């Protein structure tokens, strides 16, 4: 299996684990974390404590989920870190990401998150997408949109909403609109994904030797080959 295929598969696995791991959705004001591993900042972010390895900090979120609450942008960044950790191993992960701070879309440049305005129909499993809620209730701005992981054909994971199809995500967001709302939530045409080619340098040799499949020049990417069996997706 190539590096990109392995990382994408691990993104999906991390999303499934977060979905069942007991972490809660919260706005920044009400965020919480395990203070054995993280400092809670005044802004509602998590700053890794001295003496704690980045790998240990990320793993704890999935081991002691009920000790954590955060919003959806933080969630997808955490998922990216967890998937990279599971793909390249602890030693390389700790070297790449020595000073982790989790807050909104803040992320280490070595993660290389890239945002492209492109038809969301070209999204691949493991990509980050965004459901926008333009008529959100102003008292519930944390629901002005939902960052999600594409899990498969018309299936998405969003922190606080769980795993749903597009209609389910839109229905859930529409419940958070103001009284005079006349515009539905919708899936934006943008895709976000990590820098697979760069991160592959830190992967085991057998992954680095495979040709990367979807980092292409131009306006669209060639699709990975994958098979879906029930709710599990296998990359080829």
Q: Is the pLDDT of residue 221 over 70?
A: no
Instruction: Give the domain ranges of the chain.
Output: 116-187
DSSP reduced 3-state for 194: coil
pLDDT at 97 exceeding the cut of 80: yes
Q: What percent of the chain has pLDDT over 70?
A: 87
* pLDDT band with cut points at 50, 70 and 90 for residue 222: very low
- pLDDT band with cut points at 50, 70 and 90 for residue 220: very low
Residue 166's H or E segment, with its range, is helix 166-174
How does pLDDT run across 154-173, given as a tens digit for each residue? Answer: 999 999 999 999 999 999 99
Q: pLDDT at position 210, please? A: 56
- Rounded-to-integer distance, Cα 127 and Cα 224, Å: 12
Q: Which residue has 């990509």 as its token pair? A: 127
Find tokens 């950790």 and name the residue: 85
The Cα–Cα gap between 46 and 55 comes to 14
Angle at CA of residue 106, ends 56 and 130, nearest 5°:
105
User: Could you give the C-alpha distances from 111 to 94, 136, 213, in angstroms and in order?
Assistant: 13, 31, 18
pLDDT digits (tens, 9 = 90+) for 9-39: 999 999 999 999 999 999 999 999 999 999 9
pTM exceeds cut of 0.85: yes
Strands 69-70 and 232-235: unpaired
Residue 52 is given by DSSP the state -
The neighbouring-strand residues paired with 115 are 192
Contact 63, 55 (CB under 8 A): no
CB 172 within 8 A of CB 164: yes
Q: Are strands 69-70 and 24-25 parallel, antiparallel or unpaired?
A: parallel
User: Are residues 155 and 165 in contact, defined by beta-carbon separation less than 8 angstroms?
Assistant: yes
Question: Which H/E stretch holds residue 156?
Answer: strand 155-158
């Amino acid at each position: 299996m190539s590096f990109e295929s392995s990382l994408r598969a691990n993104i999906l696995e991390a999303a499934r684990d977060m979905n069942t791991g007991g972490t809660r959705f919260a706005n920044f004001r009400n965020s919480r974390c395990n203070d054995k591993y993280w400092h809670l900042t005044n802004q509602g972010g998590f700053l890794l404590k001295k003496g704690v390895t980045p790998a240990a900090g990320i793993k704890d979120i999935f081991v002691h989920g009920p000790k954590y609450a955060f919003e959806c942008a933080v969630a997808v960044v955490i998922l990216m870190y967890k998937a990279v950790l599971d793909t390249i191993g602890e030693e390389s992960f700790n070297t790449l990401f020595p000073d982790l701070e989790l807050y909104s879309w803040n992320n280490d440049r070595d993660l290389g998150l890239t945002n492209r305005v492109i038809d969301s129909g070209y999204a691949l499993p493991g990509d980050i997408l965004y459901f926008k809620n333009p008529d959100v209730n102003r008292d519930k701005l944390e629901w002005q949109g939902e960052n999600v992981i594409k899990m498969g054909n018309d299936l998405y994971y969003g922190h606080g909403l769980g795993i749903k199809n597009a209609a389910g995500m839109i229905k859930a967001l529409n419940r958070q609109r103001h009284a005079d709302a006349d515009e539905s939530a919708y899936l934006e045409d943008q895709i976000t994904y990590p820098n697979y080619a760069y991160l592959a340098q830190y992967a085991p040799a057998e992954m680095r030797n495979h040709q990367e499949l979807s980092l292409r020049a131009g306006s669209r990417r060639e699709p990975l080959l994958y098979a879906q069996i029930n709710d599990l997706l296998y990359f080829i």
